[in-house]
Amino acid sequence: MNNEIKYKQFEEKSNQAELGGGQARVEKQHAAGRLTARERIDLLVDADTFVEFDKFVIHHSTNFGMEKTKFMGDGVVSGYGKIDGRIVYLYAQDFTVFGGSLSRTNANKIIKVSKLAMKNGAPIIGLNDSGGARIQEGVQSLAGYADIFWLNTKSSGVVPQISAILGPCAGGAVYSPALTDFIFMVKDTSYMFVTGPDVVKSVTNEEVTKKELGGAVTHNTKSGVAHFMNEDDESSIMAIRELMAFLPSNNMDDAPRIPNNDPIDRTDEKLNSLVPADPNKPYDIKELIESVVDNHYFYEVQEHYAQNIVIGYGRMDGRTVGFVANQPAFYAGVLDIDSSIKSARFVRFCDAFNIPLVVFEDVPGFLPGTVQEYGGIIKHGAKLLYAFAEATVPKITLITRKAYGGAYCVMNSKQIGADVNMAYPGAEIAVMGAAGAVNILYRNIEGEELTKTVNEYTDAFANPYKAAEMGYIDEIIMPSETRIKLIQALEMTANKSEQNPPKKHGNIPL
């Protein structure tokens, strides 16, 4: 065979591999409003940067007549490429080949790129569209999954791991994403469940649709499993590109610094009237975040879940910052189980990847009641406390209004290791609000005496000066100056070097 024929054969094989499960199945995928694995990769990485590995891999199963049905690539496209010029490793499950299900060889492809990602210090991105374990391969497939889960765990905190759920993902196909750092879902075409509606019906007799059980809305609003929800594959993939721009490639790196054209000393007079003097009046904390970040650009994480706390990324003078902010516009910004878990995981991610934290605090305390107590608010609230206390990245807190009770301690207080603590002149730092405190201290007073005592308590504690007298608050600042004050604090702490005591690992209350 001469070279010309060999080259032609290579081209044909390559084209065949790129067809996945064939034209009919590709059309079915498109008709369902979903892109193919290769179309998704084209959108994800910079043009002409994708390098594919293992294009010609096939499965080795001989059960159920599988030896007669082989597709080159075997249901997953894997390799590496660049996002904004930086290397990422990736794999995209190909639903047109056995429903993107995981075979032993398919798992090996994912494992290969995941190991390279860890060894070379670059993020790993999984575009998931898979019916789970390849049924025809039995335990071989399960072993493949277990290998992937093990690697996900070893990679955790070493390189960012991102998952997009872009189709019906079941069984093992959801546990690997669950071990990764961020999960993106598509509104009407992606699902995550351990088992689908049919099994649910046979086991629990519960009637539930695919969407109710594991659609994007469910996981973005109810379960908190997912972090982002987008309209379609393309917007989901674009959102991944945006997230990547905020993150470092690995835990030894800093996030990329973007040239900043937004003046660092930009003041905002509107902020002086954003926070109402009445501690019971709501306001939208996102207005503050959006006012102070570079070019007003805030990338919110878990926007639809536990909205009483806001988390996400913005840049301050070009550097990535992780924001954690109580949201007085939603349940008064109270700390409950969901908001504690949501923010604790975010704080730990930022700490693992050298992203400084800025905390905006306005919180009435922990949500009381049997629902919360039976649900374990004590241990879940402790997660947030633990996460802030253990974090060694620069940590800045600004108390915008209420810092009551345990919530004062939890929300990155000086005592649990914050580097700079600031407060607005209207801040109230106390064990609880005036009315509640007087009610406990003087149970039998009423009328004028009650009003007088509440006023005395308010004068004594509803301000930031008691804490400032003790040095627990470093600076009291005008709201309009928030941006420059935060940038100064972040600059001052940029070279912070702190280490926790050596240990195998801590024991965060799970």
- β-partners of residue 78 are 53, 91
Sign (positive or negative) of CA dihedral 178, 233, 117, 147:
positive
Q: Which of 101, 105, 163, 249 binds ligand HXC (CB under 6 A)?
A: 101
Distance, CA of 252 to CA of 154 (rounded, Å): 15
In the complex with ligand HXC, the residue whose CB is nearer, 74 or 481, is: 74
Residue 343 touches ligand HXC, criterion: CB under 6 A = no
DSSP 508: -
Binding mask 103-132 toward ligand HXC (x if CB under 6 A, else -) reads ----------------------------xx
Task: Examine residue 328 and tell whether it contacts ligand HXC (CB under 6 A).
Answer: no
Asked whether the beta carbons of 168 and 132 are under 8 A apart, the reply is: no
If we measure between CA atoms, which residue out of 251, 229, 226 comes closest to residue 160? 251
CA distances from 117 to 23, 48, 84, 90, 112 (A): 32, 20, 17, 9, 9
Strands 182-186 vs 228-230: parallel, antiparallel or unpaired:
parallel
d(CA 16, CA 66): 19
Identify which range of 46-54, 95-103, 249-257, 453-461 contacts ligand HXC by CB under 6 A.
95-103
Between 134 and 345, whose beta carbon lies closer to ligand HXC?
134
Q: Are 92 and 73 in contact (CB under 8 A)?
A: no
Question: Is the Cβ of residue 167 or residue 356 nearer to ligand HXC in the bound state?
Answer: 167
Q: How far apart are CA 73 and CA 41, in angstroms?
A: 15
* Comparison of 128 and 326: residue with beta carbon closer to ligand HXC: 128
- For the CA atoms of 151, 154, 159, 164, the dihedral, rounded to the nearest 10 degrees, stands at 40
Nearest distance from C-beta of residue 130 to ligand HXC, angstroms: 7
Q: Does 171 bind ligand HXC (CB under 6 A)?
A: yes
Which positions from 367 to 406 touch ligand HXC by CB under 6 A, shown as an x/- string?
----------------------------------------
Does the protein bind ligand HXC through residue 175 (CB under 6 A)? yes
Q: Does residue number 248 form part of the binding site for ligand HXC (CB under 6 A)?
A: no
As annotated, the active-site residues are 171-172, 406-407
Given the rule CB under 6 A, which of 104-112, 167-175, 270-278, 425-433 is the region that contacts ligand HXC? 167-175
* Residue 170 near ligand HXC by CB under 6 A: yes
Nearest to 34 by CA among 99, 125, 98, 95: 95
Regarding 275 and contact with ligand HXC (CB under 6 A), the answer is: no
Q: How far apart are the first and last CA of the chain?
A: 63
Three-state DSSP state, 323? strand
238 binds ligand HXC (CB under 6 A): no
- The number of residues making up the chain comes to 510
Query: Is residue 196 a contact point for ligand HXC (CB under 6 A)?
Result: yes
Torsion angle of the four alpha carbons 98, 101, 106, 112, in this order, in degrees rounded to the nearest 10 = 150
Nearer Cβ to ligand HXC (78/101):
101
Does residue 172 touch ligand HXC according to CB under 6 A?
A: yes
Using CB under 6 A, which of the segments 96-104, 343-351, 461-469, 483-491 binds ligand HXC? 96-104
DSSP H helix total and E strand total for the chain = 19, 17
- Per CB under 6 A, the list member of 79, 99, 144, 160 interacting with ligand HXC is 99
Of residues 137 through 156, those in contact with ligand HXC by CB under 6 A are: 142, 145
Among 133, 337, 391, 403, indicate the residue that binds ligand HXC (CB under 6 A).
133
- Encoded tokens for 453: 């005592």
Report the distance separating Cα 145 and Cα 109, nearest Å.
12
Residues of the shown chain interacting with ligand HXC in the complex, contacts defined by CB under 6 A? 25, 98-99, 101, 131-135, 142, 145, 168, 170-172, 175, 196
